[in-house]
């Protein structure tokens, strides 16, 4: 229980304050544990940082895997459903919908290689959320010069970049716009009709085209 409480506190505080600005004392207070309990579960704050990114990856992977959009028949509609789910997160404080892996990768990429590597795995996992759907869409509608791996990476880059822009501009609309442009691009790429509405006016309709 103590380990999970510390991990959950880390997910919150690292996104709110950043890795360097979050002290072990902050983490213990937020988790309701003693320093002795902290060091029983983690050798150091760096050790916790790596574990927190992995915990984030496991938690979000399970959440996306259970999402309703997987029930859509058309693989490209499933990608649009994924983007709709991403849009639904853009509420409340910006730190709350930011990505732990993306946040820590920017701060620790040169100074904490173990955390950076864990973040890299998480980013690859983010691309994997849409890779198989895009691969199936490309099998049905091949696009010369386009492969599923790099297209999935592009979607992940746009998602992460939109969140970074939202943080920099203090406006979630920046992320919403990035997600909308990704969908427009995919619709153009695959010859789909434009969506009738996007952004906060968009709703998933199970079993129908997005």
For the chain, what's the residue count? Answer: 210
Written as six digits, the tokens of 147 are 């492969």
Query: Using one digit for the tens of pLDDT, what is the confidence trace for 7-37?
Result: 999 999 999 999 999 999 999 999 999 999 9
What is the model's pLDDT at position 193?
87
**Please, what are the domains in the chain?**
56-201 (1.10.357.10)
Q: How confident is the model at residue 199 (pLDDT cuts 50, 70, 90)?
A: low
Q: Are 53 and 101 in contact (CB under 8 A)?
A: yes
Cα distance between residue 207 and residue 194, in whole Å: 18
pTM over 0.75: yes
**92-108 average pLDDT score:** 93
pLDDT at 205: 36
- Calculate helix-pair angle for 113-140, 45-65, nearest 10 degrees: 20
| Other CB atoms within 10 Å distance of the CB of residue 47 | 14
Q: Is the pLDDT of residue 5 over 60?
A: yes
Q: What percentage of residues in the chain have a pLDDT greater than 70?
A: 93
- Using an 8 Å Cβ cutoff, are 100 and 52 in contact? yes
pLDDT value at residue 67? 97
Q: What is the mean pLDDT of the chain?
A: 92
Taking 60 as the threshold, does the pLDDT of residue 201 lie above it? no
Could you report the per-residue pLDDT of 60-99, keeping only the tens digit for each? Answer: 999 999 999 999 999 999 999 999 999 999 988 999 999 9
């Amino acid at each position: 229980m103590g380990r999970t409480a510390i991990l959950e506190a880390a997910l919150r505080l690292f996104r709110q304050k950043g890795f360097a600005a979050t002290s072990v004392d902050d983490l213990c207070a937020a988790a309701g544990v003693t320093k002795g309990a902290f060091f029983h579960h983690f050798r150091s704050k760096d050790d916790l940082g790596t574990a927190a990114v992995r915990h984030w990856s496991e938690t979000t992977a399970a959440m996306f895997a259970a999402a309703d959009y997987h029930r859509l028949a058309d693989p490209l509609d499933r990608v649009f459903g994924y983007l709709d789910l991403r849009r639904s997160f853009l509420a409340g404080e910006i730190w709350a919908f930011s990505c732990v892996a993306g946040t820590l990768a920017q701060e620790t990429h040169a100074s904490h290689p173990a955390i950076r590597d864990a973040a890299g795995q998480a980013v690859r996992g983010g691309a994997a959320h849409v890779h198989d759907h895009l691969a199936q869409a490309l099998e049905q509608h091949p696009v010369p010069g386009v492969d599923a791996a790099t297209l999935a990476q592009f979607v992940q880059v746009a998602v992460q970049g939109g969140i970074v822009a939202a943080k920099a501009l203090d406006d979630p609309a920046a992320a919403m716009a990035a997600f909308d442009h990704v969908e427009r691009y995919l619709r153009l790429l695959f010859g789909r009709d434009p969506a009738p509405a996007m952004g906060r006016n968009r709703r998933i309709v199970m079993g129908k085209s997005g």
